[in-house]
């Protein structure tokens, strides 16, 4: 890692070489780096274009490229390719998410690299696993549309992608799972292997519950806004000010909910004691519950529900999470300084190990900031480094 850390470092001693862009591949490297691995990110001369995205892409780079070193190589030059191969010879893990065949054409494919480094674990993050679709270009949104997630998220007839890059990130997580499994197997065999994770199959895995629903019931799953919920009270309710989600998901919680809000008439109705009966009577129950909740402020509802075991949630916004008291107290956010000097906080890994969070101050360095130190460690002389820069095969940050 590039910063001293007080948190857990279970992957300390592992070297990761990363050829990635956008979200899916960088998410793999970010997770590994946060777990203590040394991650060296290879960027093109001038830096990864992801650094300069606007709009919804403006947060991609700082979120998924913390705790990494950066070197800039011209992979279209023989010198750049030679340096990249030498770097890969020193690696435990390689992560890439370029178009199918892009690294293969450069001689940076698994078969070629594993000849010199048989312990290498090579993780490719792709749009599709091998099959008829594998040559297609995929994005998070493409996978959500193809895989049924957008259909399930939007109202009927209006497919809607999820409000975050959930498939990119989850696909990255599956890549990490495959890498960790390959590491464990390497302990036994001494050999690495190629791991592939994908956007489309990740989406299909996430909507598998709806496929199973169809198999069980014989009826297609309705989009979530039009679904028949498994519970009668499981919805967003308007209060006197701000909305709140409330769920009553067991018979015991139904009793508690009724007593908490003085719903004696509903509790006295023995035909509502069982969950499935309440679901069938939802049209009768819900207007009364909505009227009840509308008489309180959101904070009054939270005060009544806190500590009861009843599921509830205020409707949060991303910008509000910077000041969330739970995240603040539990070290769920780590300090980050952007390349331009802006200081903020961003989410750390949602894990604890031995009671400790993976919370380490990070700085987003300029592209090529670590070119000199990384290549010097590989054994290149100062004259060679100067020649590389003069030829345009290597770039080093000025700051």
Residues 240 and 358 in one domain: no
Of 58, 196, 200, 75, residue with least CA distance to 133: 200
The mean pLDDT value of the chain amounts to 96
Question: Is 218 within the bounds of a domain?
Answer: no
Domain extent, residue 109, equals 15-206+330-395
Residues 186 and 43 occupy one common structural domain: yes
Residue 398 pLDDT class (50, 70, 90 cuts): low
Helices 382-391, 78-89: inter-axial angle, 10-degree rounding: 130
pLDDT of 5 over the 80 cut: no
pTM of the model: 0.94
pLDDT tens digits for 206-217?
A: 999 999 999 999
Residue 84 belongs to a domain = yes
347/236 same-domain check: no
pLDDT in tens, 162-202: 999 999 999 999 999 999 999 999 999 999 999 999 999 99
For residue 179, being part of any structural domain is answered with yes
Same domain, yes or no: 178 and 52: yes
pLDDT tens digits for 293-306? 999 999 999 999 99
- pLDDT, tens only, 30-71: 999 999 999 999 999 999 999 999 999 999 999 999 999 999
Does 301 lie in the same domain as 236? yes
Residue 239 within a domain: yes
> Please, which pLDDT band fits residue 3 given cuts at 50, 70 and 90?
very low
Q: What is the CATH number of the domain that holds 288?
A: 3.30.1540.10
Q: Are residues 191 and 235 in the same domain?
A: no
User: Is residue 382 in some structural domain?
Assistant: yes
**308: number of Cβ within 10 Å:** 12
The mean pLDDT value for 97-120 works out to: 97
Domains in the chain: how many in total? 2
Q: pLDDT band at residue 227, thresholds of 50, 70 and 90?
A: confident
Query: Can you give the CATH number for the domain in which 366 is found?
Result: 3.40.50.10540
Q: Are 289 and 374 contained in the same domain?
A: no
Within a domain: 167: yes
Does residue 163 share a domain with residue 134? yes
């Amino acid at each position: 890692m590039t910063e001293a850390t007080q948190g857990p470092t279970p992957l300390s001693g592992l070297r990761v070489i990363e050829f990635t862009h956008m979200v899916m591949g960088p998410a793999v490297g970010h997770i590994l780096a946060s777990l203590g691995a040394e991650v060296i990110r290879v960027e093109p001369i001038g830096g990864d274009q992801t650094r300069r995205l606007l709009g919804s892409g403006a947060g991609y780079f700082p979120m998924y490229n913390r705790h990494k070193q950066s070197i800039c190589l011209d992979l279209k030059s023989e010198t750049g390719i030679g340096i990249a191969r030498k770097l890969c010879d020193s690696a435990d893990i390689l992560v890439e998410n370029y178009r199918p065949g892009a690294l293969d054409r450069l001689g940076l494919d698994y078969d070629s690299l594993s000849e010199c480094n048989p312990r290498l674990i090579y993780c490719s993050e792709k749009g599709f696993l091998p099959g008829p679709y594998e040559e297609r270009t995929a994005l998070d949104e493409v996978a959500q549309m193809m895989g049924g997630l957008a259909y399930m998220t939007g109202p009927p007839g209006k497919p809607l992608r999820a409000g975050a890059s959930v498939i990119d990130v989850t696909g990255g997580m599956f890549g990490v799972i495959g890498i960790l499994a390959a590491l464990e197997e390497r302990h036994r065999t001494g050999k690495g292997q190629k791991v592939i994770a994908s956007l489309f199959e990740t989406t299909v895995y996430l909507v598998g519950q709806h496929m199973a629903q169809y198999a069980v019931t014989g009826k297609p799953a309705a989009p979530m806004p039009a679904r028949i919920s498994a519970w009668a009270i499981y919805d967003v309710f308007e209060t006197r000010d701000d909305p709140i989600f409330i769920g009553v998901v067991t018979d015991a919680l139904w009793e508690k909910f009724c007593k908490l809000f003085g719903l004696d008439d509903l509790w006295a109705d023995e035909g509502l004691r069982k969950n499935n009966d309440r679901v069938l009577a939802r049209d009768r129950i819900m207007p009364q519950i909505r009227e009840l909740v509308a008489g309180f402020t959101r904070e009054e509802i939270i005060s009544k529900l806190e500590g009861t075991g009843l599921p509830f949630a205020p409707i949060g916004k991303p910008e509000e999470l910077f000041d969330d008291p739970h995240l603040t107290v539990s070290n769920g956010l780590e300090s980050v300084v952007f390349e331009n000097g802006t200081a903020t906080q961003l989410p750390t890994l949602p894990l604890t190990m031995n009671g400790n969070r993976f919370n380490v101050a990070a700085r987003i360095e300029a592209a090529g900031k670590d070119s000199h130190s990384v290549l010097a460690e590989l054994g290149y002389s100062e004259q060679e480094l100067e020649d590389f820069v003069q030829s345009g095969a290597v770039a080093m940050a000025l700051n």
